[in-house]
Structure 1
């Protein structure tokens, strides 16, 4: 809560900005994202990436972007006020949607996705911290719900190309898509009908068994959220 109170406020003078940049680069691992933003184009409407720096927000605005969707939730790093300030300066709408990378997706959130997608102004960019897990899930669900893609097509958004670990704790996102493919898509159920009438997040959580070594790699070495 102290970290949120520190960063979920307006930036003041130059010293505030220096502190925010320092935190973003060295505490929130932003120095790595300046080198490799893990950016990719999902469709004509949607881009995905890791946490953008102010310069990357400016790039997106120059490319015609209209909306950025932040999946990170908490306001615990200097990345947040810098992103918010950059979006204001460049006329980008900044929206929040909370997704978890190590939990079965919430039913209420899933059922609200179609409306959420409809309300976005495009082109949009979605990001989490690293651009691997939550951004991949969002992109996969965007393809299924908004574009009508199959699970096989959408599953590519959760892959090694973006640094996603299927066998770590983050693999519960793959297990979620696999379960929909098996219980819903193969039975002719729409995504929303399956989520509403069949999906059991507690059962999915109980059945999923992550690999210890993949989890150590993702959580301890790469410091994923």
Structure 2
């Protein structure tokens, strides 16, 4: 075999994996009965607005195992009652999301049976900031790339109301955040 062919084969070998990973990072819209603004972000994470009873059943049929509800005043217990989904809840106020709340959300996502759905009412702002943090911490995205996805119009982010969310992405020391996340996961045995 010629030397150039060997070098080319070695250099090209990782390309299909890199391309597949990039495709996996692209949010894929999922049509789910009774759940709006639903997207698959990765094999482990989905996002949506508030699912109804039929939505929870459809999500379970898709293979989802867990749901993280970010709504302050609404539990999913009634809608998800006849499913085997594991329900988690962290109450977030879109105008006041803190670094500590993001940490709590990522810790839940990291230990919950996968795949996990994250949702709020619209699936835009609270869901968007949690997904941005997930992208940065769990998938190694840059804050800029995660912020771009947070602001993407297809998700319906209300930037004029919740500029604090973009500020949180910009102002967080993500290196320190990741280290704290690693320590907390280790302490939880995850």
| TM norm structure 1 | 0.59
Equivalent position of 1:164 in the other structure: 157
Give, in whole Å, the separation in 1 of the partners of 2:111 and 2:62. Answer: 21
Residue deviations 1:84-103, cap 9 Å, x none?
A: 23423120011001222112
**Do structure 1's residue 130 and structure 2's residue 92 form an aligned pair?**
no
Equivalent position of 2:41 in the other structure: 42
Give, in whole Å, the separation in 2 of the partners of 1:40 and 1:128. Answer: 13
Q: CA RMSD in A?
A: 2.5
| TM norm structure 2 | 0.69
Q: CA 1:194/1:130 → structure 2, altered by over 3 Å: closer, same or farther?
A: same
Equivalent position of 2:62 in the other structure: 63
Give, in whole Å, the separation in 1 of the partners of 2:108 and 2:34. Answer: 31
Q: CA 1:194/1:178 → structure 2, altered by over 3 Å: closer, same or farther?
A: farther
Runs of 4+ with >4 A deviation: 33-36, 192-195
**Do structure 1's residue 102 and structure 2's residue 101 form an aligned pair?**
no
Are 2:36 and 2:49, in contact at CA under 8 Å, matched by a contact in 1? yes
Equivalent position of 1:72 in the other structure: 71
Which runs of no fewer than 5 residues in structure 2 stay unpaired? 1-31, 182-190
**Do structure 1's residue 152 and structure 2's residue 144 form an aligned pair?**
yes
Task: Pick one of 177, 182, 188 that aligns with 1:191.
Answer: 177
Give, in whole Å, the separation in 2 of the partners of 1:96 and 1:179. Answer: 25
Report the 3-state secondary structure (helix = DSSP H, G, I; strand = E; otherwise coil) of the residue aligned with 2:162: helix
Q: CA 1:177/1:71 → structure 2, altered by over 3 Å: closer, same or farther?
A: same
Report the 3-state secondary structure (helix = DSSP H, G, I; strand = E; otherwise coil) of the residue aligned with 1:121: coil
Report the 3-state secondary structure (helix = DSSP H, G, I; strand = E; otherwise coil) of the residue aligned with 1:47: strand
Give, in whole Å, the separation in 2 of the partners of 1:192 and 1:153. Answer: 17
Shift of residue 53 of structure 1?
0.7
Residue deviations 1:39-91, cap 9 Å, x none?
A: 1111111110000011111110000010011100213xxxx4xx423423120
Are 1:143 and 1:154, in contact at CA under 8 Å, matched by a contact in 2? yes
